[in-house]
Amino acid sequence: MTIPDGDDRPRQVCGTCGFINYVNPKIVVGSVALHEGKILICRRAIEPRRGFWTLPAGFLEENESVEEGAIREAREEACADIRIEGLLAVYSIPRISQVQLMFRARLESPSIAPGPESLEVAFAAFDDIPWSELAFPSVKWALEQHRDFLAGAPAPFANPPGTLYR
């Protein structure tokens, strides 16, 4: 590790060719997808937080738009076809080097089934969400902010006050 000229932090630099290996945050994309007023939720079949409920979301792939990634994740995790309606929120989670983009979406059809990363999938009314079994804080934020959006609050949202932690 060395600090390259003009930089301010140690980086992995090849001693032979000078290539700098920049390690950057991961981008996560997902959606709050509705069907007849209910939200699509997925019980995780993988770690971290196996067995807990989440929204369809995952890492953005190379050469993929953020919208395409959110659509792909809904298909992979819940065999769901969604239509993106707009950006709901952008979350900054520096302690795990992630930026999360959550979209508002509608299901194109009510047909859903667990994909390889889900134990089960379901539609839940807001009052029926298993709040104590949510996998990640950002899932709770997205659900609550989606409710606020439906009540008239403008999107996009960001981390709730006091939640930008390292």
- Name the residue range of residue 70's domain: 24-150
Question: Any idea what DSSP says for residue 75?
Answer: H
Task: Give the whole-number percent of the chain exceeding pLDDT 90.
Answer: 95
Q: What is the model's pLDDT at position 164?
A: 73
Contacts of 14 (CB under 8 A, 6+ apart): 20, 21
Residue 60 lies in a domain: yes
Q: Is residue 5 part of a domain?
A: no
Overall average pLDDT of the 22-44 stretch: 97
Note whether residue 86 is domain-resident.
Answer: yes
Answer yes or no: is pLDDT of 1 > 80.
Answer: yes
Establish if 123 belongs to a structural domain. Answer: yes
What does the pLDDT look like over 94-134, one tens digit per residue? Answer: 999 999 999 999 999 999 999 999 999 999 999 999 999 99
Residue 30, pLDDT > 70, answer yes
**Cα four-point dihedral sign 41, 132, 129, 25:** negative
Q: Is residue 11 part of a domain?
A: no
Residue 45: C-alpha distances to residues 4, 8, 12, 35, 163 (Å): 42, 40, 34, 23, 27
Mean pLDDT of 143-161: 97
Two tokens, residue 7: 């930089």
Instruction: Look at residue 145 and tell me if it is in a domain.
Output: yes
Alpha carbon separation from 68 to 30, 71, 120, 156 (Å, rounded): 10, 5, 23, 18
Distance (Å, whole) CA 138 – CA 41? 14
Q: What is the pLDDT of residues 67-104, one digit of tens each?
A: 999 999 999 999 999 999 999 999 999 999 999 999 99
- Give domain status of residue 140, yes or no: yes
Task: Tell me, yes or no, whether 10 lies in a domain.
Answer: no
Count how many domains the chain has. Answer: 1
- Here the CATH number for the domain that contains residue 84 is 3.90.79.10
Looking at the whole model, is its pTM more than 0.85? yes
Confidence of residue 165 (pLDDT cuts 50, 70, 90): low
